[in-house]
Amino acid sequence: MQSFRFLPVVIWLMTASVSLGQTPTNLPQQSAALAKLYTTQDTLFKAPYVDVDEWRDKPVRHRYVHGGFTGTDARFSFYFPPKETYQGHFFHYITPFPDNENLSQGASGEEDKIGFSVSHGAYFIETNAGGKIDFARPQARDASIGAYRANAASAQYSRVIAAQLYGGKRPFGYAFGGSGGAYRTVGGVENTEGVWDGVVPYVLGSPMAIPNVFTVRMHAMRVLHDKFPQIIDALEPGGSGDMYAGLNPEEKEALQEVTKMGFPPQSWFGYKTMGIHGFLVLYQSIVGIDRAYFEKDFWNTPGYLGAAAPASLLKARIQQVSTIKAGVTSDQAVALGLTKAMSAQDRGTADAAWKSLGGVEGAMPVGFQLQNELPNIDFLGGDLRIKSGAAAGKTLQLTKISGDKVVLGPVDPALLAQVKPGDSVQVDNSNFLAVQTYHRHQVPDKTYHVYDQFRDAAGKPIYPQRPMLLGPIFTQGASGVLPTGKFKGKMILLESRWDREAFGWQADWYRARVQANLGDQTDQNFRLWYTDHALHGDVAIEDDPTRTVSYLGVLQQALLDLSAWVEKGIEPAATTRYTIADGQVVIPPTADERAGIQPVVSVLANGGKRAVVKVGQTVRFTAEVAVPKNKGKVVKAVWNFEGLPGDFAISDLHGWNFDSSDVFPVSAQLKPSDKTGSYARVTSTYTFTKPGTYFPTLRVAAQREGDAKTRFTRIQNLDRVRVIVE
């Protein structure tokens, strides 16, 4: 696909005398007149309109403007601050997938994008990017529409509205988006001019991310399922450090493979709940694109794992014939513990937007009860092959089996309606097992160093290769084009070191593309900041809060720093210092060496990372906290000494904050160790009353101005120690 150059021209309203005469009180009534003040070379989005214009008081006082483009499904929402607080720019959120223009409404705490933008003098933009697309069929329509054209048109039209409300100069504009939204943010800035002055993509993948980051991790999940507890323990503070100890050759090979591909070993702590993630909506498309791999080569051709299948692979395979007894509704599936109801908060987030894709709604079944019990195996996914009835010869995707029940994945409702009780079916995960080593047969060019493990000494692939690379196809489906590193404006790229979906090295891959384009001008236009202990999702608490932190504070500060960089020439923090070693991002141990803007915390128990004590014996904890020079002050520190309660659920921490949390119940006293407030010490004691192994955790926050009360721009980190109580 060739890049579509979007070069819009806005007739800018420099004074009220060339506008509509005065600030309009009803934008919908003057929609046609406003449309005449906007011109564009993208003829698809030539006719904007406004259908809602009203003042709202939540989450903060703002003027809400909604509209779209005639003749399209594109819709936009604009949120304008009062004129007296407006600072001349906008923040534009690019959702992971084209979805809904109102996804950000209703958020609270630091997840509140509308509140953050408006309270910092920016108007906020969100669109549906032209309307929903089927990401499992990336070539179903012109991908450039959802990738950047609808967003670019909306951003440019927002400037017409802003001129009516505020007058003055052209607003500066900044886009930000994570995961699929990062692809689309990069695709937008690389393929438009005059739309966004800067961007903050975050948790960005590479053109080879999909499906390979998922397949390699699923292979490891299958092979290592019973060994994760010992792997995790080795990596915990005070552990042996040798995660390969006690593994057989097959297990060691699987762990080495996934680690060299970039999966962060520390993130295996979530193995019980991480599942297959966004691969849910990719699986059927992969099988459809490369049927020969599944139907012919994997199980029969030398060079593929299935042709000489190890015992563990054969043990995991299921091909059981049965009969449908009854359908299982959504409510029944939730009641039986087969599925979880999707919360409204999942939609539009970097980590969980894929949950809203595919599937069926209403009274249609989400699963089936079969006549026979199914084997109790570690089932990650598979197929339900229909053997009789109106849908004979068709296949439905399965996500789970339990007893005599199966749970469906994304499915065509018309096909599902044909499946009835009494139909003969076969539960078969052969293709799903085959896809778990698909990455071995997708070796790209040598700029992707993590694939060196699949090349011989001469640089040639060890395994037979498929006729096409699927990664670039899926990437184009998300961003419209492949990333080149060529853009005008400024960019701060954010990546998470513990990311399970967008492995950290991929940000370095993009940075290399930028350097190839900009050369010695790279630092004048680009930064890359890594956030330690952060995962993929842009939520306040994504997983175990004693192990991980949110990057939302980093994201918010990056947007503010980006606007200061563009508008005032104030240089942001330097790129994080790092190296890539065998697929892993390695960063220095101290804040000033590390750079970026995240604080660094180091905790000791009785002077070490591991302490052994008796019940009732007091443990002395010490910690050093440091913020990179001139990038903020340490404002909060809280302790969790005894771990999470047995009934802990992530949902319990929605709206979590440092000031009222049962998970971190002990406030630590910060003792500044310099006049700037960028360095602090913590000294605490605790007495354990029961024997066991504990991992006391200190969670800290820094803030640029030293504001301990703000809900935004608080940048977090943590550290843990091991205490064995005998």
Is the domain of 300 the same as that of 329? yes
- 299 and 432 in a single domain? The answer is yes
Range of the domain at 427: 278-436
Residue 186 lies in a domain: no
- The answer on 339 and 414 residing in a single domain is yes
Q: What is the reported pLDDT for 615?
A: 97
The pLDDT tens digits for 550-594 are 999 999 999 999 999 999 999 999 999 999 999 999 999 999 999
- Per the domain annotation, does 595 fall within a domain? no
Q: Distance from CA of residue 126 to its chain's centroid?
A: 18
| Burial group, residue 154, by CB count within 10 angstroms (0-12, 13-18, 19+) | buried
How many Cα atoms occupy the beta-carbon half-sphere of 647 within 13 Å?
Answer: 2
Contact 426, 320 (CB under 8 A): yes
User: Model confidence at 39, in pLDDT bands (50, 70, 90)?
Assistant: confident
Residue type, position 607, single letter: G
Q: What is the pLDDT of residues 624-666, one digit of tens each?
A: 999 999 999 999 999 999 998 776 776 666 656 677 677 888 9
Q: Could you tell me if residue 179 is inside a domain?
A: no
Q: 269 and 323: one domain?
A: no
Nearest to 489 by CA among 149, 196, 202, 158: 196
pLDDT of residue 542: 79
Distances in Å between the Cα of 250 and the Cα atoms of 78, 227, 255, 266, 418 are: 54, 12, 9, 20, 43
pLDDT at 675 over 90: no
**CB neighbour list of residue 371: distance below 8 Å, 6 or more residues apart:** 322, 323, 324, 325, 404
pLDDT at residue 19 in the model: 42
pLDDT of residue 66: 98
For the chain, the distance separating the N- and C-terminal CA atoms, rounded to the nearest angstrom, is 64
Which range, of 53-57, 360-364, 468-472, 544-548, averages the lowest pLDDT? 360-364
Say whether pLDDT at 361 is over 80: no
Q: Is 254 in the same domain as 321? A: no
Let me know if residue 302 belongs to a domain: yes
Shared-domain flag, residues 298 and 347: yes
C-beta of residue 529 within 8 angstroms of C-beta of residue 573: yes
Domain check: are 391 and 483 in the same one?
A: no
pLDDT value for 266: 97
Highest mean pLDDT among 35-44, 86-95, 277-286, 373-382: 86-95
- Reply yes or no on whether the pLDDT at 53 is more than 60: yes
Q: What is the mean pLDDT of residues 375-384?
A: 93
Q: What is the CATH number of the domain that holds 712?
A: 2.60.40.10
pTM given for the model = 0.93
Q: What pLDDT is attached to residue 655?
A: 57
What is the dihedral sign for C-alpha 39, 45, 49, 53? negative
139 pLDDT above the threshold of 60: no
In this structure, of 129-143, 365-379, 466-480, the range with the lowest mean pLDDT score is 129-143
pLDDT band at 58 (very low <50, low <70, confident <90, very high): very high
* Residue 564: inside a domain: yes
pLDDT band of 171, cuts 50, 70, 90: very high
Mean pLDDT of 282-298: 96
- Euclidean distance between CA atoms 213 and 436, whole angstroms: 10
- Same domain flag for 282 and 421: yes
Q: How many domains is the chain built from?
A: 5
Q: How confident is the model at residue 132 (pLDDT cuts 50, 70, 90)?
A: confident
Weakest mean pLDDT among 86-90, 468-472, 538-542, 544-548 = 538-542
> Quick one: average pLDDT of 201-226?
97
The mean per-residue pLDDT over the stretch 234-248 comes to 97
Cα–Cα distance for residue pair 669/684, rounded to 1 Å: 8
In the prediction, which pLDDT does 469 show?
97
Alpha helices, H only, 91-179: 113-119, 143-144, 150-166
427 and 284 housed in the same domain? yes
89-93/122-127 β-pairing = parallel
* Phi, psi dihedral angles at 387 (to 5 degrees): -100, -20
Tell whether the model's pLDDT for residue 318 goes beyond 70. Answer: yes
For position 25, what pLDDT does the model report? 67
Give the mean pLDDT of 126-154: 80
Q: What is the pLDDT of residue 651?
A: 65
Mean pLDDT of 114-126: 98
The mean predicted confidence, pLDDT, of the chain is 91
Mean pLDDT for 609-633 is 97
Answer with the residue of higher pLDDT: 553 or 334. Answer: 553
What pLDDT score does 142 carry? 80
User: Domain end: 139, 155, 170, which one?
Assistant: 170
Residue 4 falls within a domain, yes or no?
Answer: no
- Taking residues 441-454, report their average pLDDT: 97
CA 286 to chain centre: 21
Q: How much is the pLDDT for 654?
A: 60
Look at residue 446 and tell me if it is in a domain. Answer: no
User: In the structure, what pLDDT confidence band is assigned to residue 702 with cuts at 50, 70 and 90?
Assistant: very high
Q: What is the CATH number of the domain that holds 430?
A: 2.40.10.170
6-10, 93-97, 141-145, 248-252: which has the minimum mean pLDDT? 6-10
Mean pLDDT calculated for residue range 156-166: 96
Tell whether the model's pLDDT for residue 18 goes beyond 50: no
Same domain, 244 and 314: no
> Is 191 part of any domain?
no
Instruction: Using the Cα atoms of residue 496, residue 498, residue 499 and residue 504 in order, give the sign of their dihedral.
Output: positive
Percent with pLDDT over 90 in the chain? 79
Binned at pLDDT 50, 70 and 90, residue 13 comes out as very low
Q: What are the residues facing 65 on neighbouring strands?
A: 53, 78
Position 349 scores a pLDDT of: 57
Contacts of 460 (CB under 8 A, 6+ apart): none
Mean pLDDT on 351-365? 50
Per-residue pLDDT at 98: 87
Asked if 510 and 413 sit in the same domain, the reply is no
Do 48 and 63 lie in one domain? The reply is: yes
Categorize the per-residue pLDDT at 534 as very low, low, confident or very high, splitting at 50, 70 and 90.
very high
CB contact burial 391-418 (16+ within 10 A = b; e otherwise): beeebbbbbbbbeebbbbbbbeeeebee
